[in-house]
Copies of this chain bind each other. A is one copy, B any other.
């Protein structure tokens, strides 16, 4: 079956996470992604753990279905070969610090002389323009400066980084959407262009209504743990063994929960009579719920609560969600055979297209695996 991006060639200068995840999203849909890697060393993540038979799981996941060519970008003959590749390319993706590509003679103005319709996507910490453009990018810094750390965590604790690299991942997602918009536009008009995505801007964009709370009514959102800003009980609660999420945003769900807990007297308690009152007295309500939960494990409590029609779930760790029937049926972990690592499992793609489903045609490449293929191509010219 033909994949949607078949025939689209991406020259990928990116390293580590944000750029490689963006080009992974393109490769998953059938684009030919050619990684340009530093000779002998390659993408930094080839040396990052976790390892399986000495092969980096970090690298294998992000680079499935891509090709690898080693090139010394400062070597004139490699540069010449690279220009041959770029002539035939559709998209460039890079995530160096602003200025580095220009220093290598690989900025947009140079490349569009070789390929007028090229789409040139840059991902960086703070963008290609703006007062902070020269600053180095770390996910921790993007989460700190983009505003999300200030609203993540519990009230008496410090601002908290998300356990996942949201700065990189969100920038990659915005960039993939941007590349697709630019490709669609080029398909209709023939016109190429640059795309500039910053990690800090991407984090800021994830904040959703929190920004509007500030701009519409002057409130500065704060850390409130896992609770709902208004409704209660709508939070993470501790059971005898493990944590439980309970999500009741209206009176009828609360009545059902009281019945499950055999505490229907709460319905007559003025502190808990309405959602607004429950929200105001949520810490007292939490004590009562957690007392009840001491009689159950998380799994037992969730079953009781769900059976009463109240939304509730356990909190899955990475092993539990990975081994769940849900992930299995939704193919969110894919088995891949890697020549060094052997059988490995890598995250699937969450976008389920009915006519052109994601096909991962090859594992991540060995460093320079496609050097020969390219050499033959250059000789043939």
Q: What is A's interface to B at a CB cutoff of 8 Å?
A: 2, 4-5, 17, 21, 25, 29, 48-52, 57-58, 60-62, 126-132, 135-136, 138, 140-141, 144-154, 157-166, 168-171, 173-178, 180-185, 187-189, 191-198, 200-202, 204-217, 219-226, 228, 234-236, 238, 243, 245, 247, 311, 313-322, 325-327, 329-330, 332-333, 341, 344-347, 349-356
Chain B nearest CB: distance from A285 CB in Å?
16
* Inter-chain contact A346/B238, CB cutoff 8 Å: no
Q: How many copies does the complex hold?
A: 2
Chain B nearest CB: distance from A248 CB in Å?
10
* Smallest Cβ-Cβ distance to A351: which chain B residue: B178
A contacts with B: majority SS: mixed
* Inter-chain contact B213/A350, CB cutoff 8 Å: no
- Give me the 9 closest cross-chain CB pairs, A-B, nearest first: A151-B163, A57-B216, A180-B180, A57-B212, A4-B185, A201-B350, A193-B355, A178-B351, A161-B226
* Inter-chain contact A210/B164, CB cutoff 8 Å: yes
Q: A154-B160, A182-B4 are in contact. Are A318 and B220 (CB under 8 A)?
A: yes
* Inter-chain contact B144/A346, CB cutoff 8 Å: no
Give the docked Cα–Cα distance between A322 and B204 (Å): 9
Q: Collect the chain B residues with CB atoms within 8 Å of residue A4's CB.
A: 181-182, 184-185
Q: A181-B180, A351-B195 are in contact. Are A21 and B330 (CB under 8 A)?
A: no
Q: Which of B61, B164, B174, B217 contacts A351 (CB 8 A)?
A: B174
* Inter-chain contact B158/A236, CB cutoff 8 Å: yes
* Inter-chain contact B160/A226, CB cutoff 8 Å: yes
Chain B nearest CB: distance from A220 CB in Å?
5
Chain B nearest CB: distance from A101 CB in Å?
15
* Inter-chain contact A214/B148, CB cutoff 8 Å: no
Q: Collect the chain B residues with CB atoms within 8 Å of residue A58's CB.
A: 209, 212
* Smallest Cβ-Cβ distance to A149: which chain B residue: B315
Q: A145-B313, A311-B136, A326-B131 are in contact. Are A344 and B243 (CB under 8 A)?
A: no
